[in-house]
Structure 1
Amino acid sequence: MKAQEYIKARGIEVTPLDNASVGRLSIDAEFKFAGKRGVVVSPKRGSVSDRYLSLLSNEGVSFVVAEGGSTLSFYEAPPKAGELHSVRALKPVKARLFPSQDVFEYLSTLLRQSVKKREAIDAVAANLLVARIANEEAGKEDAWACSIAGTVDDCSDLILSIKGKLKDADINNEGVLKLCAVLAGFRLKPATPEESAQLTDWVARASDDKKCIHGLPLALSPVFQSMGENANSISLVTSAVGAQFSILSGSGNGEVVLENGNQGLLSLLKLLYPEIAFIDDGYLESRHAKTKDVVVLVPPFGRSMQLKKGAELTSSFFKGEPVSKKYPGEYLYTIKAIEQCKPDGLIAVVLPEGILSGASHRAFRDWLLDSVQVLGIVSLPTGFCFSGTGIRCSILFMKKAKQIPADYSISMTELQQDDFDSDVIAATIETIKAAFNPEDRA
C-alpha cells in the first residue's frame, strides 16, 4: 500500500512535494496530523535510519510514514521534546473513517504475514473485526491504542482475543499488533449495508488458501440486494462469506445456514446481521425448513455425497435410483434449495463450471431445465471461487415458475477480471435486476 493512500484513508490531507529532502533522503509529501507536521519518505531499505530520524526531528517533523517493501513503517515523536521512534501506525483520533479498499488489501497483506496456519486466516480476520467492533460499541479504546507502541506483554489480552484457539507457533504476535494498530485508526462498525458487505468481502478474500472456497466478489452485491428487495422471507445457504450476504440487507425475516462455518465467523455474522436467524444444523438433513421467497446457495464443492436417512428430498431426479447411490454434493444442495423455494420464488446458486458444461452432468442440467425457469448465468473469472487455482464458477439465477414458458431467452454473461472495473458489471446487474421483478413474487 502506498503511504499517501493510507494517510488519505485516515481523512488527512496530503501535499506531494518535489525536490524536497533531508540529506540524501527524499521527502515525497507532507501532511498535518494532530496539529503537527508529518512527512512521507521512501528509504531504499524500507525503514529509516536513526541518523535520518534525528535530522527529521531537527526539522520539526513529528510523524513519519515510510514506504518500502510490502508494509509501511511509522515513526512518531513523543508529546514532549524527543527523538522520533518506531510505532506500528499513526495514532487514532476521535473522528474515524471506514477503511478504503486499499486499506483492506493492506490488512490482508499484514494478516497473511502474521498467521502461519493458512486455513486459520479467515477465523483470525473475523476475530479481529468482532473484537474491534465490540470495543467501539463499548467505547473502550485503551486496548487498541496500546497496540500503537505497546509491547506484546502490554497487549496480551488483546492478542489473546484475536488469536482464539491458535497456538503461539501458528501466529506472529508482533504482526497481530500491527494489524490492531492499523485498525485502531478506523471505524469498523458498519453504518450502511454496503459497509457490512465490505467487511464480509474482506474476510472472504483475506485467505489465499487454495483449498478454501471464497465468497462472491463485492461488485455483485447490488445483484443480491435487488433479489432481497420486497422479499418477505429469505434463506442463504453458504459455505463461504462474500457478496451473497448482501441479500440480508434490510431483511427482518431471513435465515442463514453456514455450512462448515467456524464459531469465530459465526460471531462476526451475528454481529453484522443481528436480526437474522443462524442455523447450525445440516441443511440437507433439515426437516422443518420453511419455504422462502428467495433462496441463495453457495454449496460445498467437489464432494460426492449420499442421501442421509434424515434428508427429505422428494425430487423426481431421484426416482428409480437406489437409496445408497452417491451424487455430487452440488446436485443435492441445489435440489434442496429449489424444494425450499416458494412457487414463483427466486433462486441463485453458485456452481463450478463443470456442472454447467460437463457431459457427465447432462442429466442434471436436463432436470433443471424441466424444473425451473433459468433467468441467467453469470460466469465468473477463473480463481474467483478458489484463489490461485484454475477453477471457474458461475452463478445460476432461476425462478421457480408455476408455469415454465415453452420458449424463453436466458441471459448469458461471461465476466473477465477487468470487467469488475468497467460498465460490463453494471450492465450485468441491470439485466439480473430486470429479470427479478419484485411484482412476480406476489
Structure 2
Amino acid sequence: MSSILIRSIQLLLSISILVIIHELGHFIIAQIFKVRVERFFLFFDPWFSILKKKIGHTIYGIGWLPLGGYVKISGMIMDDKNISSKNTINNWEFRSKSAIKRLLIISGGIFFNILLSILIFTFLLFKYGETYLPTKNVKYGIEVDALGEKIGLKNGDKILFVNGKYIPYFNDIPKEIILGNSITVDRMGNIIKLSLNNNKKKFFFDRKELNFFIQPRVPPIINYVIKNSKAEKYGLRNNDEILAINSEFILFSDQFKDLLSKYKNENILMSINRNGKLIQKEIFLDSKEVLGIYLKNFIDLDQIFLFEKKNYSFFESIPHGIKKTWNVLKNQIFFLKNVFHIETKAYKQIGSFFSIAKEFPSKWNWDIFWTLTATLSIWLAFLNLFPIPSLDGGYILFIMIEMITRKKINEEIMERCTICGFIIISLIMMFIIIWDIFKVFFY
C-alpha cells in the first residue's frame, strides 16, 4: 500500500470522526430539548447519497462529497415545507425553543469537538506519559540549521531565556522562540540578546516544512550505515565515534558536517573510536559529500542526555489533557494572527486537505493519528466560533443579538445572511485548495 493511500485513509478516518462527533453534539442536545432532527449525514450529499436509512423522524446517511457533514434540525431554516406554516410553530421545532436552548443546540458541535480533543490528549497522556529533556541537561549547547542561523543563532549557543524567561524543558524552546520576541544566549561566555521581529519571523513560515530549527549539540556517533553505501565499502560501522578528519579534531556533529563540505573531491583520513580502539580509514569524498551514514541525534543518546519521564494516573491526566488542548489552541491562534501579518509570510503555510494529509505518517501510527485528530478537533471547534453565517458562530451571533435586544431577527434576513456566508466560505475553501495545488507544483 503506497504512502499516499495510507495518508489518505488516515485523513478520511480522522475527518469522519471529527464530523460525526461535531454533528452528534448538535443531535444529542437537540434530542434532550425534544427538537426533531430530520437528517444526520456524514459528508455532503448533493443530488444523491451513498447510503441512507430512516429511523424514527431522522434520516441517517453517508454523502459522497467528503468536505464535512451536517444535521438538519426541524424549524431551523425556513424551507418550502414550513414556509406555508410560518405562523404555526410546533413544539418539536427549533424555532419554538427559548434562546438559551437554541444557543446550547448550536453550541453542541463546538463543545463536543473540545471534549473530544481533551479526551484524546487525556488518554494519550495516561497511556504514554510525557518525556522531557530538561534545558539544564543540554550540556553542549545547540546545533542550528540554516533557519537558526538566519535568526541569529550559532552552533554551540546555550539558550538562557526566551522573552526574558527561563524555559525549563528544551522541548518547549522552539515553540517559545516562534511565539517570542527575543532570545538571550550564552555564546562562549558572552551574553547576547537577539531580537525577533516580523522580518525574522518570516523565516519560520517561508519554507516548505515547519521542522525543528534547533536541537541539542551532540558528538558525531554513527547511528547506522546504509547498505551498499560508500561508508559500508570503507568499513564504517554502527556506533563508530568520529574523532577527527585529517588532523582536525571533531567534537560535535555540526563540525563533522562542515569538514565534509570542506574536503569534497579529496581523500581524507578519518579517525574513529570503535569500542575504545583507535581506527583510521582513508576515504575519498566525492562532490556530493555523501557517505551513506546517519548520525545519532539527542534522542538516541539517552546515556548522555538525561531525560525526565512523567507518568500520570487517569485522574492526573485529565487536567494535563485540558492544558495540552489549551496550549494547542493557543499555538493555532498565534499562527492565524501571523497569517494577517504579510511580512511574516505565514500565509504560505495555509493548506487544505492536501496539506493536512501530508502531516499524517506514511506508515500507520495510531499515536500520531490520535494526536493529529485531537489537534484538528480543537481547530475545528475554534473555526466554528467565527461569527460567519452558515458556521455555528454565525447562528450563535444571531441568538446572542436576540438575547440582548429581546427581539427575534427576521427569518428571511437570517436565511439570506446564511446563503451569503455559505458562498463566502465556499470561495475561501476553493481559494485554499487552488493555493495548495499551486504550492505542490510551483512553490
Instruction: Indicate whether the TM-score tops 0.5.
Output: no
The structure carrying a bigger helix percent of its residues is 2
TM-score of the superposed pair, with normalisation by structure 2: 0.24
Higher relative CO (Cα under 8 Å, sequence separation at least 6) belongs to 2
Structure number with greater Rg is 2
TM-score of the superposed pair, with normalisation by structure 1: 0.24
